[in-house]
Amino acid sequence: MRAPSPMMRQYELVDRVKAYNPNCDEALLDKAYIYAMKAHGTQKRASGAPYFSHPLEVAAILTDLRLDDATIVAAVLHDTVEDTDSTVADIERLFGAEIAALVDGLTKIKKLDFVSKKATQGENFRKLLLAVAEDVRVLLVKLADRLHNMRTLHFVPPAKRVRIAEETLDIYAPLAGRMGMQDMREELEDLAFQHIKPDAYQTIGERLDRLTAASTGLITEIESVLQARLVERGISAMVKGRRKQPYSIWKKMERKSVSFEQLSDVFGFRVIVDDVDDCYRALGVVHTAWPMVPGRYKDYISTPKQNDYRSIHTTVIGPGHQRAELQIRTRAMDRVAEFGIAAHALYKDGVDPERRPLDDTAAYRWLRHTVDLLAENENPDEFLEHTKLELFHDQVFCFTPKGLLIALPRGATPIDFAYAVHTKVGNTAVGCKVNGRIAPLLSELQNGDEVEIIRSEGQTPPSAWEALVVTGKARAAIRRATRAAVRRQYAGLGRQIVERAFERAGRAFSEDALKAALPRLARTSVEDVLAATGRGEMFSGDVVRAVYPDHLDEKKPAPIQAPAGKGWFGLKKGSHMKFRLPDSERPEAIPIRGLNGDLPVTLAPDGGAVPGDRIVGILNPGEGITIYPIQSSALAAFENEPDRWLDVRWDMEEVGQQRFPARIQLKSINEPGTLAQITHVIAEHSGNIDNISMVRRTPDFTDMTIDLAVWDLKHLNAIIAQLRGKSVVSRIERVIG
Ligand code: MN
């Protein structure tokens, strides 16, 4: 792909295009050549060469990719708007709207100073992708532009070099790979590597040279033996050996932490045949002639890579015990492997009927998909991280039950799969079947897996998933869904609290009245007020007073006096009568539907409440409600904060859906089998034991503390009664923290 030097003449450019496109617009190419030459005038490159040589070299690279007239002309003009007096309007007047749009896209990208601060890198990458998504030919010119700048990077001041090289390795080389342009990717990587790790590059390069010199005979031997065997079997094939690039060898050394001496497969061979059938026949010939290296066989013909790459890969131990990596493919596959998306770009001119429309390529679909992701990500740097990861990851290919192909990065889980199908599918996923069998949602998917997602409506994804998925799309969607769910929970709790506060005040609650009072509360929406109240950041009394300013007379928002005293009943006799009333007489109490309901509820630690207990809720700012049994001595700690006390009651639709922790303490007689008897009684009554701790105070007795999980108070009392009836139990009581 080396472009000619010195500066290409006008007729040379036309000849290069004519060689693959006899119907090209010569006059247009000539006009672009002269226009750009005049526009750049006496400008010079860092190398001292006339600036105009640069756009010509970029155009030359693109003629190697056999691109259409518009792309070649855009390449010749690509720096005129940014670096000379030309305007997009000039270009449009002289060259038409299509070429003007391409040059405009390239000008926009050029304005992004990629190598500046890291803080803006994500945003720039986003703009780059948006600019190229309009027309993928913009990306092709940009990549050729970068390739020529990398080829001449040694003229740039050293301080700038490494940053440009790193950006090339981080973004442009993977992008070229993603567009299927393998040769371009390799050259970009190698040029970047040369400047980022000059010592490593030189060492590997020298050894490669020596090894190549020593094994020249070997490469030709393998080539000719292979060729002969294939011909024997009636397969016409072209065999071409090549050595790998320093960067790909260095990457392998890093990844596998092996030294260059141990790295045996530095030579690769391409076997190009006529059709798919011959690919598999050639593979048979190869595997019959030499032993294959296990685990290295990959069939990208039956399952192409996401960038449309198709080929069979295998590694054999060839003559001289030298490992040789083989790629077997057809001519058409070879062209896609080399040119990638550019192999299809000429379709527009109708030059090559074999080429597919660009939009029909997987590489283009990936680009569109990535741009769609942009819309969902608020933070551009996060986006850059995700996209970078996805650029580098290998892919796994999975299928929906209907046979739709879903490509995911390696390491992806069924949750990633669900989100790749649709955000709604991900948000409602509760289980999955992989290849027809129930599998954990967090297993790692393999190539060819058929995945069926089991869904349940009204579900919220657990926030823990966020750290476990690998695709940016799933991560962003989970974060959004959990944020929304938490906010809904707090708003729901806030609504209950606010409605009850209005009831106590003898006032009517309406959203409209609250809306009118928003400025007084310095909030922007009703939901905002309710969520803030639920989170404990705003008190319900203040909300009532905001709506009814004349309500200032009310002394306390809730008729609660400070509880005091400790003991079996945490609340002092006479006070808090309200909380002691039976549930049926407190209709305004907030119903608690267990731990998985729509309120942010937790239970007090160390002997909390179970359904059936009379309960009190304590509002913890930012954490929701903690439920205490009314006897809890821990309640004394909140006696001076009446605003945090919430009137709550159990409202369990069905007992037996959820277990609740309860703690019992007992003194048992020491004799063989005591513990077995006790645990047997608990098991018989279907109580779960979470924890047992024992202290032997005397030779005769042991004190035990048992943490149980029970359905409700009735269940707990039944277990206590049964244990009390045992002769080995001398004393038993429930413990309330
Ligand atoms: Mn340029």
More confident residue, 219 or 682: 682
Report in angstroms the alpha-carbon separations of 111 from 81, 108, 128, 134, 213.
11, 5, 10, 17, 46
* pTM greater than the 0.85 cutoff: no
Ligand 1 mean position to 47 CA, how many Å? 14
Left if phi > 0, otherwise alpha if psi is -120 to 50, otherwise beta: which for 511?
alpha
Report in angstroms the alpha-carbon separations of 158 from 163, 165, 190, 408, 618.
9, 11, 17, 39, 64
Ligand 1 mean position to 297 CA, how many Å? 41
| 590 in any annotated domain | yes
Same domain, 645 and 668: no
Report in angstroms the alpha-carbon separations of 180 from 274, 304, 343, 351, 391.
21, 11, 9, 21, 12
Same domain, 496 and 417: no
Same domain, 136 and 221: no
Same domain, 335 and 409: no
Same domain, 502 and 450: no
Ligand 1 mean position to 660 CA, how many Å? 68
4 pLDDT more than 50? no
Do residues 332 and 355 lie in contact, with contact meaning Cβ atoms separated by under 8 Å?
no
Do residues 687 and 664 lie in contact, with contact meaning Cβ atoms separated by under 8 Å?
no
pLDDT at residue 361 in the model: 67
Same domain, 68 and 184: yes
Q: Which of 449, 470, 491 is the last residue of a domain?
A: 470
Same domain, 614 and 491: no
Q: Domain holding 445: CATH number?
A: 3.10.20.30
Ligand 1 mean position to 55 CA, how many Å? 6
573 pLDDT more than 80? no
DSSP classification of residue 44: B
Mean pLDDT of 653-681: 84
Mean pLDDT of 664-672: 88
Same domain, 543 and 682: no
| 579 in any annotated domain | yes
At position 20, the amino acid (one-letter code) is Y
Ligand 1 mean position to 78 CA, how many Å? 6
What average pLDDT does the structure give for the chain? 81
Same domain, 452 and 413: yes
Give the total number of structural domains in the chain: 6
Q: Domain holding 31: CATH number?
A: 1.10.3210.10
Q: What is the pLDDT of residues 34-82, one digit of tens each?
A: 999 999 988 998 888 899 999 999 999 999 888 889 999 999 999 999 8
Same domain, 128 and 229: no
Question: Which three-class secondary structure state does DSSP give residue 272?
Answer: strand
Ligand 1 mean position to 189 CA, how many Å? 19
* C-alpha dihedral sign at 496, 498, 501, 506: negative
pLDDT at residue 352 in the model: 52
Which segment, 95-109, 617-631, 693-707, is predicted with the most confidence on average? Answer: 95-109
Percent of the chain scored above 90 by pLDDT? Answer: 21
Q: Which of 282, 309, 344 is the last residue of a domain?
A: 344
167 pLDDT more than 60? yes
| 721 in any annotated domain | yes
pLDDT at residue 358 in the model: 60
Q: Residues with catalytic annotation? A: 82-83
Same domain, 666 and 689: yes
Same domain, 103 and 239: no
| 638 in any annotated domain | yes
Q: What is the pLDDT of residues 79-137, one digit of tens each?
A: 999 888 899 999 999 999 999 999 998 888 776 655 454 445 566 677 777 777 778 88
Ligand 1 mean position to 629 CA, how many Å? 73
| 134 in any annotated domain | yes
Report in angstroms the alpha-carbon separations of 360 from 49, 68, 134, 136, 181.
41, 18, 15, 12, 17
Q: Which of 344, 368, 385 is the last residue of a domain?
A: 344
Q: Which domain holds residue 693?
A: 660-735
**Which of 46-60, 194-208, 209-223, 560-574 has the least mean pLDDT?**
560-574
